[in-house]
Structures are given as structure tokens and as C-alpha cells.
Amino acid sequence: DQQVKQNSPSLSVQEGRISILNCDYTNSMFDYFLWYKKYPAEGPTFLISISSIKDKNEDGRFTVFLNKSAKHLSLHIVPSQPGDSAVYFCAASAANTGTASKLTFGTGTRLQVTL
């Protein structure tokens, strides 16, 4: 039962354009969402997060949008840079419940930013 889904395994974007990575979730108890970025042979690194009380959070070139009614979130990267090429994982937690100890991850989207 995949509670966090990233339906696009890969995405290719030209340098300077916008990258949009999508994530859907099924568990209505999730109230905190994060994006992690992973380079080969490295552990995931935290990128940006959003609480369910917000619908948008911005940090530099990265913006996360949350649509609770659709159980959908997206990560926008603009402008995309070659160094953004990595695998991006969406993750969720039920931070205000007894299961706050764990993050549930999606399967990841591999972003390639081309010159």
C-alpha cells in the first residue's frame, strides 16, 4: 500500500526552465510534508518542507505547494540548474499523531537538468 506516490520516475528539464515534481498521498492523517534530494552514493538531504496549515512555502529557487483537498503536493524549482540533477523524494508524516516518529517516502523522481 503506497501511501505516498510519485508517479513520474524521471523528468528532464532544460537549464533555466522550471522543474515541477509532483507527489500524491492517500493518508488523510498526514500533516507535514517534506522534499529530500539525493545524489548517487549519498544519503538524502533535506530540501524544503510544508505544514498542512499552509498551502505554499518558498525558499530561494524552491517552492512547495500543497493542495490538501486533492492530497497533492508539488515542488517547483526555478530556474533549474545542472546541479539540481538528482533524485527527489517526497515524504510525509502524521506529525501530530502517535505515528510522528516516521516519515513515509515516495519512490522518487529522477530530475535531469540539461544544458
Partner 1 sequence: GAGVSQTPSNKVTEKGKYVELRCDPISGHTALYWYRQSLGQGPEFLIYFQGTGAADDSGLPNDRFFAVRPEGSVSTLKIQRTERGDSAVYLCASSSRPGTGIGGELFFGEGSRLTVL
69 pairs with which residues across the strands? none
Binding mask 54-93 for partner 1 (x = CB under 8 A): -----------------------------------x-x-x
Q: Is-contact 6 90, C-beta < 8 A?
A: yes
DSSP 84: G
**Binding residues for partner 1, total number by CB under 8 A:** 28
Binding mask 28-47 for partner 1 (x = CB under 8 A): ----x-x-x----xxxxxx-
Binding mask 1-30 for partner 1 (x = CB under 8 A): ---x-x------------------------
What does the angle CA 87 – CA 81 – CA 62 come to, to the nearest 5 degrees? 70
Q: Kindly state whether residue 96 participates in binding partner 1, applying the rule CB under 8 A.
A: yes
Cα–Cα distance measured from residue 35 to residue 105, given in angstroms and rounded to the nearest whole number: 9
- Nearest 10 degrees: CA dihedral of 6, 12, 14, 18? -10
Residues within the interface to partner 1 (CB under 8 A): 4, 6, 32, 34, 36, 41-46, 49, 51, 89, 91, 93, 95-96, 99-108
